[in-house]
Amino acid sequence: MFSDYTATELGSIFAMQGFAGLILFAVFLLMALGLAIIFGQMGVINMAHGEFMILGAYMTYLTSNLFAEYLPGLFDAYFFVAIVVAFLASAALGAFVEWAMIRRLYHRPLDTLLATWGLSLLMQQSYRSIFGAREVGVRIPDWMAGSFPVTDIVELPINGLIVMIIAISVTFGVYLLMFKSSWGRRVRAVVQNRPMAGAVGINTVKVDRMTFALGCGIAGIAGSAFTMIGSTGPSAGQQYIVDTFLVVVFGGAASLLGTVASAFSISQAQSTMEFFLGGSMAKVLTLMTVVIILMVRPQGLFTLKVRK
Amino acid sequence: MSNFSLKNMMTRQDVLGFLVLAILLLVIMPLSMDIIRLTQFGKYLSFAFVAVGLVLCWGYGGILSLGQGVFYGLGGYALAMFLKLEASSPENTAIQSTPGIPDFMDWNRITELPWFWEPFNSFTFSVLAILIVPTIFAYFIGFAMFKRRVGGVYFAIITQAISAILTILIIGQQGYTGGVNGITDLRTLLGWNIRSDYASYVFYFVCVALLFVCLFIAQFITKSKLGRILVAMRGQEDRVRFSGYDVANFKIFVFCVGAAFAAVGGAMFTLQEKFMSPSFVGIVPSIEMVIFCAVGGRLSILGAVYGAIVVNVAKTYFGESFPELWLFAMGALFIGVVLAFPDGLAGVYQKYCAPTVDRFLDKAPVFKRYSGDSSYSPSEPAKAS
């Protein structure tokens, strides 16, 4: 399949697809981070994760409309406000869901899966009733539109770059929070040994709620970032859920580094194959490879060694 | 199995449950509905096959598969491919640029029948394929996962991914699979018109008969030693392993049985609806099949049948009258069944109706002689009303 192209063309193709893959990587990483916290740290399957992302996207949409209406002078900066709004809204809903539903199901992980699927249906239909069934797009500020020429055939879209910057900063933030803060130490303590963590005075109930809320909040940020590169519909969240779970599981559930590595390899594989095989076959082959690797190595790429 | 007898296999409540279901499906439904509604009802029953398989896998074995749609689809497609080839005889397709191949292949400029379609010219092969292809596929998945002691949540995620992969593949490879529309326009089965009312009645009764075969197999499995090992595994897998059982083999077996049931259900769907499409393969239908089982009661094989019927009737009714409300109702159903009624309809029956029925049975002369154990314990399958 390479013989039809010259060497320079191939170089450009790989560069372009590599960059497209990097955007996809940022998308996967943002989606997977929240889930890696919720699933990796708490062992909770949140099938409504995609809907929390869409909540963030709709919050961004509302914020942009508010700015366009009342603060047109500050429109260029609305996106930063929107990210905060999206995070807070999703985290608040996450905390509520944890309180109302998830905490009753910690000992029944498979039932959590079904209950959160029900939640995702409720959220989808709510979006449809509130925002309408049609997809909505966000008007992005002028400085984010356009692209950034590197060579005469390779161009880098600015909104893609911004999504990438967000992904990297969120990853870094999660790293600091989980591994350098006292809160993160408490979360890791609860994950490794719940009764002992409780015995030394950690409020495990509160840690659970905060962890779940943080994971949902990051999903909200992800949704906010997605509005930069695509439009938002009520059922868009469902399309992400399989990819997201595979990224997290492939990386090794409790490992942040693993999540980054698996998001990178899956996105690059998919994006490079996409050029030669078309979207659906590329996706099939990528997912199939991941599933087969997971069958051979079920613990994923990186594992946390914990004595249970 | 020397002490195996009807009495060991079924309590009198089970016998009553099977009888009630048989009367409902074989007498009441065909008499009270016209053929269009009855065929629709037969479609619901095709989902009951999957739900019964899930009771074995999930309720008894503790294996939650979110990929039952894959097996349902494989079974359905196997039969649809045979029927499609029969409908695409060179005489019927003379206007195509390549006569004798299915119409969607012609539209996609494919000029000869792909190799994997060839065997589906044979009826015997197709019928065997309905059972064997999904079972072998399930065996490979089960072997790869359970031998490595992967279970629970990971198994659910992987099976879900497999159903997503298969859907993308079917939709993407339009020329070979019929794409998003699926395989449609099926006409005859071995030269016999499958669109007549008479054929619809026949297919309905075939569907009910096969459902009862599956129900009896499931009943046998749950009441045999195998069923007890499954329950033990669900509770304390390591203890069963340390007692010398190869846990993985039991899981693989029950997963394969569940897959075969689902495949038969899929084939019954194809027969009654006269088409098969990827919309019954993907993530959403697969997880809905789990809810049929959960609503019926994950430990009750008869409950699963009622669960499939109730949810589908509600879906059709709400979907037609209040499409807005349906997703809310479905979402609430998922949450409610998990939080409030983990034993589903069967649990409700067991709590409120079973004692009354039991007292009644004590008086009934027919059951006097047959006083099986009617006490309920969580490991015993419950029966729904």
Which tens digits make up the pLDDT trace of B30-59?
888 888 889 999 999 999 999 999 999 998
Does B68 map to a domain?
yes
| Residue B329 · residue B318 · CB < 8 Å | yes
Q: What is the predicted pLDDT for the residue at B341?
A: 85
- Give strand pairing partners of B189: B192
Q: What is the predicted pLDDT for the residue at A278?
A: 77
Q: Between the CA of residue A280 and those of A91, A100, A256, A270, A276, what are the distances in Å?
A: 34, 39, 29, 10, 11
Mean pLDDT (whole number) for A165-184: 90
Average pLDDT score over chain B? 85
Residue A146, chain B, CB below 8 Å: the answer is: no
Per-residue confidence band for A148, with pLDDT thresholds at 50, 70 and 90: confident
Q: Kindly report, residue by residue over A191-221, the tens digit of the pLDDT.
A: 888 888 889 988 888 998 999 999 999 999 9
Residue A211 Cα to chain centre, angstroms = 15
- Closest A-chain CA to B161: A242
Q: Kindly report, residue by residue over B343-353, the tens digit of the pLDDT.
A: 888 888 888 88
Mean pLDDT (whole number) for A167-181: 90
| Residue A22 · residue A14 · CB < 8 Å | no
Q: Which residues of A touch B148 (CB under 8 A)?
A: 295, 298
Instruction: Please name which of A104, A50, A27 lies closest in space to residue A215, comparing C-alpha atoms.
Output: A50
Instruction: Please name which of B82, B107, B135, B93 lies closest in space to residue B264, comparing C-alpha atoms.
Output: B135
Measured CA to CA, the distance from residue A146 to residue A137 in angstroms comes to: 17
What are the φ and ψ backbone dihedral angles of B48, each rounded to 5 degrees? -65, -30
What are the φ and ψ backbone dihedral angles of B330, each rounded to 5 degrees? -65, -45
Chain A nearest CA to B287, separation (Å): 8
3-state secondary structure A250-304: HHCCCCHHHHHHHHHHHHHHHHHHHHHHCHHHHHHHHHHHHHHHHHHCCCCCCCC
**Where is pLDDT greater, at A115 or A253?**
A115
Per-residue confidence band for A308, with pLDDT thresholds at 50, 70 and 90: very low
Measured CA to CA, the distance from residue B322 to residue A63 in angstroms comes to: 32
Q: What is the predicted pLDDT for the residue at B367?
A: 59
Q: What is the predicted pLDDT for the residue at B5?
A: 63
Mean pLDDT (whole number) for A46-59: 91
3-state secondary structure chain B: CCCCCHHHHCCHHHHHHHHHHHHHHHHHHHHHCCHHHHHHHHHHHHHHHHHHHHHHHHHHCCCCCCCHHHHHHHHHHHHHHHHHHHHCCCCCCCCCCCCCCCHHHHHCCCCCCCHHHHHHHCHHHHHHHHHHHHHHHHHHHHHHHHCCCCCHHHHHHHHHHHHHHHHHHHHHCHHHHCHHHCECCCCEECCEECCCHHHHHHHHHHHHHHHHHHHHHHHHHHHCHHHHHHHHHHHCHHHHHHCCCCHHHHHHHHHHHHHHHHHHHHHHHHHHHCCECHHHCCHHHHHHHHHHHHHHCCCCHHHHHHHHHHHHHHHHHHHHHCHHHHHHHHHHHHHHHHHCCCCHHHHHHHHHHHHHHHHHHHHCHHHHCCCCCCCCCCCCCCCCC
CB contact under 8 A, B337 and A114: yes
Does B181 map to a domain?
yes
Chain A nearest CA to B4, separation (Å): 34
| Residue A141 · residue B353 · CB < 8 Å | no
* Locus of tokens 């499931």: B218
Q: How many CB atoms lie within 10 A of CB A199?
A: 9
Q: In CATH, what number is assigned to the domain containing residue A28?
A: 1.10.3470
SS3 state of residue A148: strand
- Closest A-chain CA to B148: A298
Per-residue confidence band for B74, with pLDDT thresholds at 50, 70 and 90: very high
Q: Which residues of B touch A125 (CB under 8 A)?
A: 324, 327-328, 331
**Where is pLDDT greater, at B49 or B378?**
B49
Does B268 map to a domain?
yes
Contacts of A233 (CB under 8 A, 6+ apart): A133, A134, A135, A136
- For residue A242, pLDDT over 70 is answered with yes
What is the H or E stretch that residue A21 is in? Answer: helix A7-35
Chain A nearest CA to B334, separation (Å): 5
Comparing CB atoms, the residue among B156, B164, B335 nearest residue A115 is B335
Residue B337, chain A, CB below 8 Å: the answer is: yes
DSSP state of A74: G
DSSP state of A46: -
Residue A105, chain B, CB below 8 Å: the answer is: yes
Q: What is the predicted pLDDT for the residue at A105?
A: 86
Residue B340, chain A, CB below 8 Å: the answer is: no
Range of the domain at B186: 6-368
CB contact under 8 A, A249 and B154: yes
Q: Which residues of A touch B339 (CB under 8 A)?
A: 101, 104-105, 115
Q: Kindly report, residue by residue over A278-299, the tens digit of the pLDDT.
A: 778 888 888 888 888 888 877 7
Residue A287, chain B, CB below 8 Å: the answer is: yes
Is the Cα dihedral B358, B359, B362, B365 positive or negative?
A: negative
Chain A nearest CA to B51, separation (Å): 15
Q: What is the predicted pLDDT for the residue at A154?
A: 65
CB contact under 8 A, B161 and A242: yes
Residue B289, chain A, CB below 8 Å: the answer is: no
Q: Which residues of B touch A283 (CB under 8 A)?
A: 168
Does B378 map to a domain?
no
Q: What is the predicted pLDDT for the residue at B380?
A: 43
Chain A nearest CA to B319, separation (Å): 13
Contacts of A206 (CB under 8 A, 6+ apart): none
- For residue A166, pLDDT over 80 is answered with yes
Does B316 map to a domain?
yes
Mean pLDDT (whole number) for B185-192: 82
- From the candidates A104, A113, A241, A244, which should be mutated to test the interface with B, based on the most B CB atoms within 10 A? A113
User: What ipTM does this complex have?
Assistant: 0.85
| Residue B96 · residue B106 · CB < 8 Å | yes
Does A306 map to a domain?
no
Mean pLDDT (whole number) for B181-205: 86
Is the Cα dihedral B335, B337, B339, B340 positive or negative?
A: positive
- For residue B381, pLDDT over 70 is answered with no
The domain tally of chain B equals 1
Q: What is the predicted pLDDT for the residue at B368?
A: 55
Residue A239, chain B, CB below 8 Å: the answer is: no
Comparing CB atoms, the residue among A122, A129, A287 nearest residue B161 is A287
Per-residue confidence band for B375, with pLDDT thresholds at 50, 70 and 90: very low
Q: Kindly report, residue by residue over B246-295, the tens digit of the pLDDT.
A: 888 999 999 999 999 999 999 999 999 888 999 899 888 999 899 899 99
Residue A113, chain B, CB below 8 Å: the answer is: yes
**Where is pLDDT greater, at A181 or A136?**
A181
Q: What is the predicted pLDDT for the residue at A253?
A: 66
Does B385 map to a domain?
no
What is the H or E stretch that residue A147 is in? Answer: strand A147-149
The domain tally of chain A equals 1
Does B15 map to a domain?
yes
Lowest mean pLDDT among A193-197, A217-221, B129-133, B368-372: B368-372
Measured CA to CA, the distance from residue A211 to residue A184 in angstroms comes to: 9
Angle at B57 between CA B371 and CA B149, to 5 degrees: 130
Does B304 map to a domain?
yes
| Residue A23 · residue A229 · CB < 8 Å | yes
What is the H or E stretch that residue A19 is in? Answer: helix A7-35
Q: What is the predicted pLDDT for the residue at B176?
A: 86
Chain A nearest CA to B235, separation (Å): 12
Q: What is the predicted pLDDT for the residue at B370?
A: 53
CB contact under 8 A, B161 and A290: yes
Residue B219, chain A, CB below 8 Å: the answer is: no
- For residue B181, pLDDT over 90 is answered with no
Per-residue confidence band for B13, with pLDDT thresholds at 50, 70 and 90: confident
Of the spans A220-234, B87-101, B354-368, which averages the highest pLDDT?
A: A220-234
Q: What is the predicted pLDDT for the residue at A59?
A: 92
Residue A117, chain B, CB below 8 Å: the answer is: yes
Comparing CB atoms, the residue among B162, B168, B331 nearest residue A280 is B168
Residue B234, token pair as written in the block: 């669900």
Lowest mean pLDDT among A10-19, A55-64, B226-235, B236-245: A10-19
Q: Which residues of A touch B164 (CB under 8 A)?
A: 242, 287
Q: What is the predicted pLDDT for the residue at B79?
A: 92
Range of the domain at A155: 11-296
- For residue A4, pLDDT over 80 is answered with no
Comparing CB atoms, the residue among A45, A108, A294 nearest residue B158 is A294
- Give strand pairing partners of A6: none
Is the Cα dihedral B311, B220, B64, A99 positive or negative?
A: positive
- Give strand pairing partners of B192: B189
| Residue B18 · residue B52 · CB < 8 Å | no
Residue B93, token pair as written in the block: 């397709």
Comparing CB atoms, the residue among A122, A283, A288 nearest residue B332 is A122
Q: What is the predicted pLDDT for the residue at A300?
A: 75
Q: Between the CA of residue A245 and those of A52, A219, B142, B281, B309, what are the distances in Å?
A: 14, 13, 20, 19, 31
Residue B158, chain A, CB below 8 Å: the answer is: yes
Percent of chain B exceeding pLDDT 90 equals 32
CB contact under 8 A, B164 and A287: yes
Of the spans A4-8, A18-22, A248-252, A296-300, which averages the highest pLDDT?
A: A248-252
- For residue A222, pLDDT over 70 is answered with yes
Percent of chain B exceeding pLDDT 70 equals 92
Angle A182-192/A204-226 helices, nearest 10 degrees? Answer: 110
Mean pLDDT (whole number) for A122-145: 83
